[in-house]
Amino acid sequence: MQKKISKIPFKGTPEQEAQLKAVIAECKDDKSRLMHVMQKAQDIYGYLPYEVQVMIAEGMDVPLEKVYGVSTFYAQFALSPKGKYNVSVCLGTACYVKGSQDVLERICSELGINEGECSADGKFSIEACRCIGACGLAPVFTVNGEVYGKVTPDDVPGILAKYKNAED
Amino acid sequence: MSLDNVCGCSAAEEIIPLNKTNFYKKQRRVALRNCGVIDPENIDEYIAVDGYRALAKSLTELTPQDVIKIVSDSGLRGRGGGGFPTGRKWSFTAANQADQKYVVCNADEGDPGAFMDRSVLEGDPHCIVEAMAICGYATGASEGYVYVRAEYPIAVKRLEKAIEDAKAYGLLGDNIFGTDFCFNLHVRLGAGAFVCGEETALMTSIEGNRGEPRPRPPYPAVSGLFAKPTTENNVETFANIPQIVLNGPEFFNTIGTETSKGTKVFALGGKITNTGLVEIPMGTTLREIVEDIGGGIPNGRKFKAAQTGGPSGGCIPEAHLDTPMDYDSLLKIGAMVGSGGLIIMDDTSCMVDIAKFFLKFTVDESCGKCTPCRVGTRRLLEILEKITDGKGTMEDLDTMEALCYYIKDNSLCGLGQTAPNPVLSSYRHFKEEYIAHVRDKKCPAGVCKNLVQITIDPDKCKGCSLCSRKCPVGAISGEIKKPFVIDQSKCIKCGVCIDTCKFGAISRK
């Protein structure tokens, strides 16, 4: 999968940097924990911009191209920031057979953005995800980890309204 | 889900025991025996149901060779898809001398539609800890890794707690049960790459690299994780181990068929009344699963096919409903047990579209290391897209088949070698559907958008204009109280009008 690389300027805080440095200090003697460090970095920053990858490469003493190689290989690592509310639609087989493609299309049209994109106000992003193992509830989508099961395209506007109207 | 679906009885009837209900009657729970029964976060509850007794028995009464013999005699075969005899796998690692050996548990359950590994890790994590320690003793390994998908946060949390608790009780760590045996367990998280379910790719990933598979030989039993002898098994395989060691091989090898022993968990999903995990003795027929346990197809529709083994597997048509579900019978009809995903499809599913769906998945997930898989699957997908767009020719079908065999024969790892299976098996069993797409430019199930037309039946249309107001592209026009018509050049086949019409006058053909 081609990943979208963000052109948004990096806005890291010193607190975030201190958190990342602490994780690196704990893991730097075991190079096999590179993915663990990257996962933690993504928890801290929300995505893995170039500046963060450089910090990881220097801290773990591995080449930057290795960090970049790992970050582009695995679907979980994001090179673009996600929206405040990340809508993730399961396209696993059980969900697909039960019409999750229609649900995804409805979410895209409701939010006016495509899969893999983030809305201009930074509020919503949409991704199609792999099976989350809730096949008994198919079709399923999640909003920031909150699971909505057995949904129909017509349920979509009501569910999204909750987040659209939420206080910032 | 209503109570009717769960119990097979209506609420007004008397309440019947769980094991008499249609859903559970034919099931036999070995791997899932504790799931939903004990508190997974409480080690004492696991110990109360014979937990860690198999480990104690192994360490204090049995030699490593005894343990391997018990596992071999039980006839247990790998539950992750390969079906390789587990005892033999262990004996290979045991036979290799090294300063360090590893045990790896593959919990990267990537097959979309399968969730038995998640269920075991969330419902009975100690059983995996115990089984891996037994494997470590049998093969001479002192370190173990569990590689879990990051998509399963609860499983990760409970597994980590189980490891902590086991350590605190002295069931992991140094000198377990006062013996010389030491064993430590680590959890590593995946990051969303299907190929990491392949054993060599998984080990590469644990080492902190891009999860690309390695050519074999050398096999992991010789040079696996960190280039040391390694035994890798799937979660469900491990989940059977404590019961086998505790109760002896006969407990297990008296269940199942001649070549497939024990039980297998299937994740029943799709167009079926009762969905969920189903653990049945090997050899139970697909018909029993669909009709008795699954409660049949909902909404009065007709069974069309079952897809087993996810993107690596194949489909089973109605004619083979009486096939016993075991490794060899399924291979014979071009399907496979795989990791146990079992998706039921009714007559509203298009087999060409499903094949295309799986291929899109493998194209996305191909790691790109070898050309037959990286380029071949993409070319195969293009042919399928051409067919579902109504531009396919009969020659394309021949090219498609030849390309499938080429990819199977030449790919480096299991992902590529099995990627064409959904195409090959659907082509084998539903050839007429492919031909309908190519020759007649029709999709019999009405799924492929470029091959269907949505039309209004003038005899049924009352001219209420509701559909024309709902149509997002303004393709429907007409006069009130006279039949409306759809402008096919504008129609995007979204189907909103079909859902809107109160008179059932609009249909997809």
Please report, for chain B, the start and end positions of each structural domain, with discontinuous segments joined by +. Answer: 31-253, 351-438, 453-508
In this structure, the answer to whether residues A57 and A99 fall within a common structural domain is no
**Per-residue pLDDT band at B10 (split at 50, 70, 90):** low
In this structure, the answer to whether residues A22 and A67 fall within a common structural domain is yes
Boundary of a domain, candidates A51, A73, A95: A73
Q: CATH assignment of B453-508, given 3.30.70.20, 3.40.190.10, 3.20.20.80, 1.25.40.10?
A: 3.30.70.20
B250-259 confidence digits (pLDDT tens):
999 999 999 9
Nearest CA in chain A to B116: A133
* pLDDT (0 to 100) of residue B408: 96
Whether residue A5 is contained in a domain is answered as no
Whether residue A152 is contained in a domain is answered as yes
Better-predicted residue by pLDDT, B3 or A21:
A21
Whether residue A7 is contained in a domain is answered as no
- C-beta contacts of B375-379 below 8 A and 24+ residues apart: B376/B403, B376/B406, B376/B407, B376/B410, B376/B411, B376/B416, B377/B407, B377/B416, B377/B419, B377/B420, B379/B403
* pLDDT (0 to 100) of residue B14: 77
Average pLDDT, chain B: 94
* pLDDT (0 to 100) of residue B2: 44
Residue B367 contacts A, CB cutoff 8 Å:
yes
Residue B409, amino acid: D
In this structure, the answer to whether residues A91 and A64 fall within a common structural domain is no
CATH number of B31-253: 3.40.50.11540
- Work out the number of other CB atoms within 10 angstroms of the CB of residue B169: 14
In this structure, the answer to whether residues A69 and A138 fall within a common structural domain is no
Whether residue A160 is contained in a domain is answered as yes
Topology, domain B351-438: de novo design (two linked rop proteins) (1.20.1440)
Residue A23 contacts B, CB cutoff 8 Å:
no
**Per-residue pLDDT band at B452 (split at 50, 70, 90):** confident
Q: Is the model's pLDDT at B7 over the cut of 70?
A: no
Residue B129, amino acid: V
Cβ atoms of B221 and B229 closer than 8 Å? yes
Better-predicted residue by pLDDT, A97 or B373:
B373
Quote the CA–CA distance of B422 and B432 in Å, as a whole number: 16
In this structure, the answer to whether residues A19 and A43 fall within a common structural domain is yes
Q: Give percent of chain B with pLDDT exceeding 70.
A: 97
Q: What is the DSSP string of B210-248?
A: ------SSSPTTTS-GGGS-EEEEEHHHHHHHHHHHHH-
Q: Is the model's pLDDT at B11 over the cut of 80?
A: no
Whether residue A9 is contained in a domain is answered as no
Mean pLDDT value of segment B281-285: 97
Quote the CA–CA distance of B273 and B253 in Å, as a whole number: 32
Closest CA of chain A from B275, distance in Å: 5
Better-predicted residue by pLDDT, B3 or B211:
B211
Boundary of a domain, candidates A46, A73, A100: A73
Q: Output the CA torsion sign for B379, B380, B381, B382.
A: positive
Closest CA to B340 of B415, B416, B289, B292: B289
In this structure, the answer to whether residues A42 and A102 fall within a common structural domain is no
Which CATH number is A108's domain given?
3.40.30.10
CB contacts, 8 Å: B276 with chain A? 136
In this structure, the answer to whether residues A33 and A90 fall within a common structural domain is no
According to DSSP H, which parts of B99-183 are helical? 116-123, 125-139, 153-168
With a cut of 50, list the residues of chain A below it in pLDDT.
Answer: none
- Return the SS3 of B102: strand
* pLDDT (0 to 100) of residue B1: 42
- Work out the number of other CB atoms within 10 angstroms of the CB of residue B503: 12
Residue contacts between A and B (CB atoms, under 8 Å) = 104
- C-beta contacts of B498-503 below 8 A and 24+ residues apart: B498/B454, B500/B466, B500/B467, B500/B470, B501/B466, B501/B467, B502/B464, B502/B466, B503/B460, B503/B461, B503/B462, B503/B464
Overall number of domains in chain A: 2
* pLDDT (0 to 100) of residue B3: 45
- Tokens 């007409």 locate to B478
Nearest CA in chain B to A132: B151
CB contacts, 8 Å: B113 with chain A? 92-94, 131, 135
Burial of A121 (0-12, 13-18, 19+ CB in 10 A): exposed
* pLDDT (0 to 100) of residue A120: 83
In this structure, the answer to whether residues A61 and A94 fall within a common structural domain is no
Residue B181 contacts A, CB cutoff 8 Å:
no
Mean pLDDT value of segment B391-414: 96
Closest CA of chain B from A68, distance in Å: 10
In this structure, the answer to whether residues A152 and A97 fall within a common structural domain is yes
Whether residue A2 is contained in a domain is answered as no
Chain B 199-238, CB below 8 Å of chain A: which residues? Answer: 205-211, 226
- Mutation target for B interface from A3, A90, A104, A131: give the one with most B CBs within 10 A: A131
Whether residue A47 is contained in a domain is answered as yes
- Mutation target for B interface from A93, A105, A140, A155: give the one with most B CBs within 10 A: A93
Q: Is the model's pLDDT at B110 over the cut of 90?
A: no
Q: Burial letters for B371-395: b for 16+ Cβ neighbours within 10 Å, e otherwise?
A: ebbeebbeebbebbebbbebebeee
Residue B23 contacts A, CB cutoff 8 Å:
no
- Return the SS3 of B392: coil
Nearest CA in chain B to A97: B270
Whether residue A147 is contained in a domain is answered as yes
* pLDDT (0 to 100) of residue B5: 47
Bridge partner list, B107: B148
Its domain, for residue A132, covers 85-164
Report the predicted TM-score, pTM, of the whole model to 2 decimal places. 0.89
Domain B31-253 and domain B351-438 have a common topology = no
Residue A106 contacts B, CB cutoff 8 Å:
no
